């Protein structure tokens, strides 16, 4: 069942998919329609899942699942992965590659490969205070508190000396 993302409890499980480019306004409207339909019909062993989503910075698809109602199963997680893979094909965009880094440059969201980000850190083009997106957060509380953080407070810190 589709619920408003803001109404999901802080214990809700979170999946973050970062795109290698921004989505246009038209693409975002289409995405919202597809996400609405997917989450409205998302189930685990025939039981409805209470989920919601938001699209942040025209680039991140964040899906939340209230596991207090029903938990995700292997099949329901597989269904969500297949859904995201279909979005990748539909929009010629990369959403699944976790070896890339997004960070803020002023109001702009930059996207680099991990290799390029490491080189930028070595060259001092990014610093410990650069705001990065920690897409490894596991629940909504972590998403709210620890998703957008200075690199020194994230796993990205290992590249900054």
Per residue in 95-114, pLDDT tens?
998 889 999 998 899 999 99
109 and 62 inside one domain:
no
47 and 86 inside one domain:
yes
- pLDDT for 81 equals 95
Residues contacting residue 98 through CB under 8 Å, at least 6 positions apart: 135
- pLDDT for 123 equals 93
Q: Which of 40, 63, 91 is the last residue of a domain?
A: 91
28: left (phi over 0), alpha (psi -120 to 50) or beta: alpha
59 and 117 inside one domain:
no
Measured distance CA(22)–CA(58) in Å, rounded? 5
Are residues 111 and 101 in contact, defined by beta-carbon separation less than 8 angstroms?
Answer: yes
Are residues 12 and 139 in contact, defined by beta-carbon separation less than 8 angstroms?
Answer: yes
132 and 68 inside one domain:
no
For 114-153, the DSSP string reads HHHHHHHHHTTSS-TTSEEE-TT--BHHHHHHHSEEEGGG
Dig out the tokens for 30 from the structure.
């289409």
83 and 118 inside one domain:
no
Residue 161 has pLDDT above 80, yes or no: no
Average pLDDT over residues 82-93: 97
Measured distance CA(143)–CA(16) in Å, rounded? 9
Q: Which of 39, 45, 40, 149 is nearest to 101 (CA)?
A: 149
131 and 149 inside one domain:
yes
- pLDDT for 98 equals 83
- pLDDT for 54 equals 97
Q: How many CB atoms lie within 10 A of CB 158?
A: 10
State the residue range of the domain holding 155: 100-159
Q: If residue 52 lies in a helix (H) or strand (E), which one and from where to where? A: strand 50-56
44-78 confidence digits (pLDDT tens): 888 888 999 999 999 999 999 999 888 888 888 99
Give the chain's domain count: 2
154 and 82 inside one domain:
no
End-to-end, the C-alpha distance of the chain in Å comes to: 46
66 and 42 inside one domain:
yes
Residue 27 has pLDDT above 90, yes or no: yes
132 and 54 inside one domain:
no
Q: Which of 115, 118, 152 is nearest to 132 (CA)?
A: 152
Q: Which residue has the higher pLDDT, 22 or 74?
A: 22
Average pLDDT over residues 5-33: 97
């Amino acid at each position: 069942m589709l619920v408003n993302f803001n109404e999901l409890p802080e214990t809700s499980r979170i999946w973050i998919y970062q795109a290698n480019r921004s989505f246009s306004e038209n693409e975002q409207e289409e995405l919202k329609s597809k996400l609405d339909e997917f989450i409205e019909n998302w189930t685990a062993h025939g039981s409805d899942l209470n989920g919601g989503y938001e699209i942040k910075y025209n680039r991140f698809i964040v899906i939340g699942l209230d596991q207090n109602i029903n938990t995700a199963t292997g099949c329901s997680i597989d269904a969500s992965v297949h859904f995201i893979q279909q979005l990748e094909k539909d929009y010629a965009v990369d959403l699944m590659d976790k070896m890339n880094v997004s960070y803020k440059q002023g109001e702009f969201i930059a996207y680099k490969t991990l290799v390029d980000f490491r080189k930028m850190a070595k060259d001092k083009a990014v610093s410990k205070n650069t705001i990065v997106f920690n897409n490894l957060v596991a629940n909504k509380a972590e998403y709210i508190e620890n998703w957008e953080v200075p690199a020194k407070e994230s796993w990205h810190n290992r590249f900054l000396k």
